[in-house]
Amino acid sequence: MLTKSAAKAFFLGGTALCSAAFLLLTLDTLAAFPKRSNQDQMTEQVVRGHHIWNKNNCMGCHTLMGEGGYYAPELTKVLERRGGPWINSFLQDPESFYPGRRKMIKYDIFVDAEVGAEVAAGNRADIIAFLDWVGKIDLNGFPAEPDMKGSGMASAVDPTKLEAAPDYFKTVCIGCHSVGGQGGNVGPTLDGVSDRFDEAYLRTWISDPQSVKPGTSMPDLGVEGELLDELVHYLGTL
pLDDT digits (tens, 9 = 90+) for 90-101: 898 887 777 666
Question: Which CATH superfamily groups domain 160-235?
Answer: Cytochrome c-like domain (1.10.760.10)
Q: Do domains 39-135 and 160-235 have the same CATH topology?
A: yes
What are the pLDDT digits (tens) for 10-46?
Answer: 888 889 999 999 999 998 888 877 778 888 889 999 9
61 vs 143, higher pLDDT: 61
The partner residues of 67 in beta bridges, in order of sequence, read: 64
What value does the mean pLDDT take over residues 198-226?
Answer: 88
Q: What is the CA radius of gyration of the chain?
A: 24
- Cα gap 166→151, rounded to integer Å: 21
pLDDT of residue 188: 87
**Looking at the predicted structure, is the pLDDT value of residue 119 above 60?**
yes
187 touches 177 (CB < 8 A): yes
As assigned by CATH, the class of the 39-135 domain is mainly alpha
Domain ranges of the chain: 39-135, 160-235
pLDDT of residue 147: 47
74: left (phi over 0), alpha (psi -120 to 50) or beta: beta
Sorted by sequence, the CB contacts under 8 Å of residue 53 that are 6+ apart come out as 59, 64, 127, 130
- Cα gap 90→193, rounded to integer Å: 25
pLDDT of residue 238: 86
3-state secondary structure the chain: CCCHHHHHHHHHHHHHHHHHHHHHHHHHHHHHHHHHCCHHHCCHHHHHHHHHHHHCCHHHCCEECCEECCCCCECCCHHHHHCHHHHHHHHHCHHHHCCCCCCCCCCHHHCHHHHCHHHHHHHHHHHHHHHHHHHCCCCCCCCCCCCCCCCCCCCCCCCHHHHCCCHHHHHCHHHCCEECCEECCCCCCCCCHHHHCCHHHHHHHHHCHHHHCCCCCCCCCCCCHHHHHHHHHHHCCC
CB neighbour burial string for 161-191, b if at least 16 within 10 angstroms, e if fewer: bbeebbebbbbbbbbbbbbbbbbbbbbbbbb
pLDDT band at 162 (very low <50, low <70, confident <90, very high): confident
pLDDT of residue 123: 96
